[in-house]
Chains A and B, each alone.
Chain A
Amino acid sequence: MILRYVLQRLVLILPVLVGISVLVFALARLAPGDPVQVVLGLDYTPEQAAEMRHELGLDRPLPAQYVTWLAGVVRGDFGRSIVMNNEVRAIILQRLPTTLFLAVTAVSLALLVSIPLGIIAAIKKDSWIDNVLRVLAIVAASMPVFWLGILMIMLFSVRLHWFPAAGGVSEHGVRALILPALALSASFAALITRMVRSMMLEVLGEDYIRTARAKGLGSLGLYGRHALGNALIPVITVVGLQFGTILGGAVLTETIFNIPGLGRLLIEAASRRDYPLIQGVVLVTAFAFVFVNLLVDVLYVVVNPRIRYG
C-alpha cells in the first residue's frame, strides 16, 4: 500500500525534476560571455574558436546539448569546476554533510523547543506565558538569520567566550555548530510554536477530547495520548515545506559563522561565476528539497491512516 503510494508520488515528481534540470541547464546558457573565450583567452583565430566549439559540443542544437548534460547529471557527472580545478561532484560531496548536519540539527532543536512551548501556550491560553511566547514568536520571525547570527557572536563569543566565533567542525568539533544551528532554528521554532498552539486548541475543542475528559481521563493522558498526536500531523507538512527556507538560511548562516558547507560554496561559486559549480549546487539543493517533501508526504500517510485508504 505504502509502496504503491511512494511509486505514485515518484511518477508525479518526475516532471518537476525534469523541469528543475531544464531551468538549471538554461541558467548557464543565459549567462553572458562565450565559454570558448573563457577556455582560449583573448587571443585566438576563428578556426580555433570553431574547433573548440565543436570539441565542447557547443555547435550542436540546444536540446541535444541538454540531453548530453542530463545524461551526465544522472550518472552523477556535473562537469568540472572552472575555478577550483576539480570535479563538481567531488567538491559538493565534500561540503554536503556539513550543511545537512547543520540543517537537521537546526530542525531538531526547533522541534525540541517549540512543541512543548506550543502545548504550554495552548493549555495556558491567554495567560502571561501565552502572551510572552506570542511576542517572542513574532520578534523571532522578523529577525534576519544573518543578523541574529551576528548578535549571537557578539554576545556569546566576543563577550562571554562561550563558543568559538568562527571556524568549522574540523577545528572545534560539534561545538562550532551549536550557535549556527541555534540562529538557524529561531524563526522556524517561532513558526512551529504558533502552529502547535493553534492545532492543539483546535484538537482540544473536538468531540472525542470531550468524551475522553468525560471518561475521567487525567490531563497527562488527555494531552499526551489523545490531543498531541493529532495536533502534530500538520506540523510534519510544515517541516517539509520549510526545509527549503532552512536550506536557504543555511547559506547565510554558513557565511556568518564561516562554516565550509554547501551554502558558502554557492556564494564562492556565484561571486566567481563558476557556472558548472553553481549548476551543481542549485541542482542538488532543489533535488534535496523535493525529496524531503516526498519523504514528508510518505510520513504523513504513515501517521495518518485516514488518507491511506481515502
Chain B
Amino acid sequence: MAQSIGGTTFISLEQRHLSTLKTRRWKTVQIIFRNPTSVAGLLIILLMIVAAAAAPLIAPYPPSEVHIRDKVSPPGDTYWFGTDQFGRDILSRLLYGTRISLFLSIGGVLLATAIGTIIGAIAGFGRRWVDEVLMRVMDILMAFPYIVLAIALIAIVGPSLRNIVLVVAFTRIPQFARVVRGSVLVLRDAEYVVAARTVGVSEGQILMRHVLPNTLSPIVVLASLSMATAILTEASMSFLGLGVQPPTASWGTMIGDGRNYIDDGFWISTVPGLAISLTILGFNLLGDGLRDALDPRLRSRV
C-alpha cells in the first residue's frame, strides 16, 4: 500500500486506514464472541482438541489393550463407556480416535484450502480461457457424489492415513476454488485494485497483497464448514472399512465394530456416533456463526 507517491498526507492517510482496519478486526472478533452460535461451536471444538491432545494423559487404558474376559461389558465403574467385542476400553479408544479423526480432517481441509485457493486465484485472475478450463475441471469433479468418488479413489490407491488425507482434500478442492474465484472476480476490478494497477504495482503483487487477503472471510467460513464434511467423510470411509484400518481407533471404525452388537452392546457404536455428531455440530455452528459475523451476504454462496 505504501507506494512512494504523496508525502506526509499519504502516510497519515495510510495510518488512519490501518487503524480503522485494526478496529474493524477487533469488532469482528467481538461479533464472533457475542454470537452464541459460534461460541457454542468454538467450545465444542475446543473440548475435542483438548481431548485429542490429552489422550495419553487421561485415557485409562492403552487404546488397543485387550481385556478378553470383559468383552462387551456395559458402561460402569471400571469402563466408563463400556468395552467392545475384544474388551477394549471404549473411552480410551474414543480419546485416541479423536486424535486420528481431527488430524486427518484438519490435514485434508488445509490441503484443500491451499490447492483450492491457488486454483481459484488463477482462474479468477488469469485469462478467460484459463478460467474456463479450470472451472470446467472443477465442474467435472463436483459431478461425482463425494463419497462415491472417495470410495473409488481409495479402492485404487489403498487405505493409508496419507491417502485418506489426500482423498478428503480432493473432494473439497472444487468448493474452495469456486468460492475464491468468485471473490477474486469481484475484486480484480475493484476501484482500489485499479488504483494500485495505475500506480504500477505488478499483477502478482496485486493478487497477493490486495486481492487474496480480502477473500479471507469466505475461505475461513468454508474451511469451518468443510471440517464438518471432512470428519463425516473420514468417519464414513473408516466405517465402510476403506479408511483407517484396525486396530487403530477412529470414530468410524468404532461404529463399524458395534454394528454386529446392536442387540447386546448398543454402547459400542452409540458412543463414537455421539462424538462424531457433536464435532460436526461444533464445526457447523462455528461456520454459521462466522458467516453471520464476517459477511452475511455469503449465505447464498457458501
Residue ranges of A at the interface with B (Cβ–Cβ < 8 Å): 15-16, 19-20, 23, 27-28, 30-32, 138-139, 141-144, 146-147, 150-151, 153-154, 158, 165, 244-245, 247-249, 251-252, 255-256, 266-267, 269-271, 273, 275, 278, 281-282, 285-286, 289-290
Q: Are B148 and A154 in contact (CB under 8 A)?
A: no
Known: A150-B258, A285-B145, A289-B145. A270 touches B236 (CB 8 A): no
Interface core residue of B136, B149, B158, B270 (most chain A CB under 10 Å): B149
Known: A147-B277, A244-B145, A252-B236. A270 touches B269 (CB 8 A): no
Q: At the interface, is chain B mostly helix, strand, loop or mixed?
A: helix
Cα separation A157 to B36 with both chains bound (whole Å): 38
Cα separation A292 to B103 with both chains bound (whole Å): 36
Q: Whole-angstrom distance from the CB of B296 to the nearest CB of chain A?
A: 12
B228 within 8 A of A: yes
Q: Whole-angstrom distance from the CB of B150 to the nearest CB of chain A?
A: 9
Q: Which of A146, A248, A273 contacts B155 (CB 8 A)?
A: A273
Known: A19-B136, A142-B280, A290-B143. A151 touches B273 (CB 8 A): yes
Chain B window 130-166, contacts with chain A (Cβ cutoff 8 Å), 1 for yes, 0 for no: 0000001101110111111101111111100000000
Closest to B147 in A: A248
Q: Whole-angstrom distance from the CB of A66 to the nearest CB of chain B?
A: 15
Point out the residues of chain A lying under 8 angstroms from B143, CB to CB: 16, 19-20, 244, 286, 289-290
B255 within 8 A of A: yes
Q: Whole-angstrom distance from the CB of B210 to the nearest CB of chain A?
A: 33
Cα separation A169 to B302 with both chains bound (whole Å): 39
Cα separation A271 to B159 with both chains bound (whole Å): 10
Nearest 5 Cβ contacts at the A-B interface: A248-B147, A19-B140, A147-B273, A270-B155, A248-B145
Closest to B148 in A: A285
List which B275-302 residues lie within 8 A (CB) of chain A.
276-278, 280-281, 284-285
Chain B window 239-261, contacts with chain A (Cβ cutoff 8 Å), 1 for yes, 0 for no: 11110000000000001001100
Q: Are B151 and A31 in contact (CB under 8 A)?
A: no
Q: Are B144 and A147 in contact (CB under 8 A)?
A: no
Cα separation A269 to B259 with both chains bound (whole Å): 21
Cα separation A7 to B282 with both chains bound (whole Å): 44
Q: Which of B136, B154, B281 contacts A16 (CB 8 A)?
A: B136
Q: Are B144 and A289 in contact (CB under 8 A)?
A: yes
Q: Are A146 and B239 in contact (CB under 8 A)?
A: yes
B263 within 8 A of A: yes
Residue ranges of B at the interface with A (Cβ–Cβ < 8 Å): 136-137, 139-141, 143-149, 151-158, 228, 232, 235-236, 239-242, 255, 258-259, 262-263, 266, 269-270, 273, 276-278, 280-281, 284-285
Point out the residues of chain B lying under 8 angstroms from A144, CB to CB: 232, 235-236, 239, 255, 273, 276-277, 280
Closest to B268 in A: A150
Q: Which of B144, B228, B236, B262 contacts A142 (CB 8 A)?
A: B228
Q: Are B270 and A248 in contact (CB under 8 A)?
A: no
Q: Are A153 and B262 in contact (CB under 8 A)?
A: yes
Known: A150-B259, A165-B262. A252 touches B147 (CB 8 A): yes
Q: Whole-angstrom distance from the CB of B27 to the nearest CB of chain A?
A: 26
Cα separation A62 to B153 with both chains bound (whole Å): 20
Cα separation A242 to B285 with both chains bound (whole Å): 20
Cα separation A269 to B155 with both chains bound (whole Å): 8
Cα separation A111 to B236 with both chains bound (whole Å): 25
Q: Which of A143, A153, A249, A251 contacts B151 (CB 8 A)?
A: A251
Point out the residues of chain A lying under 8 angstroms from B155, CB to CB: 269-271, 273, 278
Point out the residues of chain A lying under 8 angstroms from B276, CB to CB: 144, 147
Q: Are B147 and A151 in contact (CB under 8 A)?
A: no
Cα separation A280 to B139 with both chains bound (whole Å): 20
Closest to A18 in B: B140
Q: Which of B239, B242, B277 contacts A271 (CB 8 A)?
A: B242
Point out the residues of chain B lying under 8 angstroms from A278, CB to CB: 152, 155
Point out the residues of chain B lying under 8 angstroms from A290, CB to CB: 143
Point out the residues of chain A lying under 8 angstroms from B140, CB to CB: 16, 19-20, 23
Q: Are A285 and B156 in contact (CB under 8 A)?
A: no
Point out the residues of chain A lying under 8 angstroms from B144, CB to CB: 20, 244, 282, 285-286, 289
Q: Are B262 and A158 in contact (CB under 8 A)?
A: yes
Q: Whole-angstrom distance from the CB of B102 to the nearest CB of chain A?
A: 16
Point out the residues of chain A lying under 8 angstroms from B157, CB to CB: 30
Q: Whole-angstrom distance from the CB of A242 to the nearest CB of chain B?
A: 10
Report 23 cross-chain contacts, Cβ distance below 8 Å, ordered by A residue: A16-B136, A19-B140, A20-B144, A31-B156, A142-B228, A142-B277, A142-B284, A144-B235, A147-B277, A150-B258, A150-B259, A150-B262, A151-B273, A158-B263, A248-B147, A248-B148, A251-B240, A252-B236, A266-B148, A269-B155, A286-B144, A289-B143, A289-B145
Closest to B150 in A: A248
Q: Are A267 and B262 in contact (CB under 8 A)?
A: no
Interface core residue of B136, B145, B151, B255 (most chain A CB under 10 Å): B145
